[in-house]
Structure 1
């Protein structure tokens, strides 16, 4: 299938990032070209993207994975990886969902994407937005969130909580759509309160987190 697509969509398969073209600019152009290719699979889209990028070898290794569902962060500078996330991951989310119509498929897509995006939520607005999208589509992402809260990504978790508070009216219909979802969200928020107390009530970050968590608990109850 990939070889057939390559023959009939030469503009996409021969597309390359320019020597002086920024990653965000290239990704906008690539996504526009990709939208014109009907029926393209995850594997083929990522193959075309991988071949077109002018990027560090570590990123090429990441993109060599056939599916975005298990993409991992490799070692590197924060700025470079934040730029990468802003440009690439919204596209990967869209491509992944194209072949994930069922509940189980969505679960397989959202959990790894959430785990990846939470790493950048304190630095990139796009990461926060995608992390929230993951939780609304799959409430079990809260389990991953709890695992990463605040031991590894305290600022990211606070950024995510803040966004949930600000956009509660937009996301509450999905978050409160079932007893299971309500119960898991409530348990997660209560566990966050306990973790904040174990951290330190004197640290402004945890105090801010408490404010957001208490707000969400009231909304869920």
Structure 2
């Protein structure tokens, strides 16, 4: 396969059939060896995390495709750590969308004077630009439109999809006694149709999950999810 892009946690390839293939690495975001989905750097490498992440990702994407929620997912080979996806274009240089149900991480660092750690939030959605040099800055709807990153009306579509998708994941985890505190999603446009699609991955590395008030290791989330 031909390498297109080397990312922090995934590499992007073009296979011999011309399909786009994501390869899931064992690298995870964090700092000083501690996992943090909000960090914009690789903080640790954990053997088996790539396969675990892809297994969880394909589980959710297949559910969403079956429910006609637009995604870039085609199919996956968990053992090979490869996921075949539709060809897409990203918003600008990349846009991350976070849905928050509890005040933790960067949210509490910014707004800690107004809410206690772990305080409940009503599926609060915020957007950040993928920009390592500037620390993935927050950006609002007006700025996204002014800069031409989103077209008028697209922000609402992204937010509505984020709330719907996050809610489905939250409910799925709740069935296993897990509580979703926050989750980071990404969206793009289908190059053929222009439709807004859910892209990237849906793994433990993209979310904070707690059980009985204790943080769940991202690799353990899948074990709970797939347990009988």
Q: Shorter-chain-normalised TM-score: which range?
A: under 0.3
| Bigger radius of gyration | 1
Higher strand share: 2
Answer 1 or 2: higher relative contact order, Cα 8 Å, separation at least 6: 2
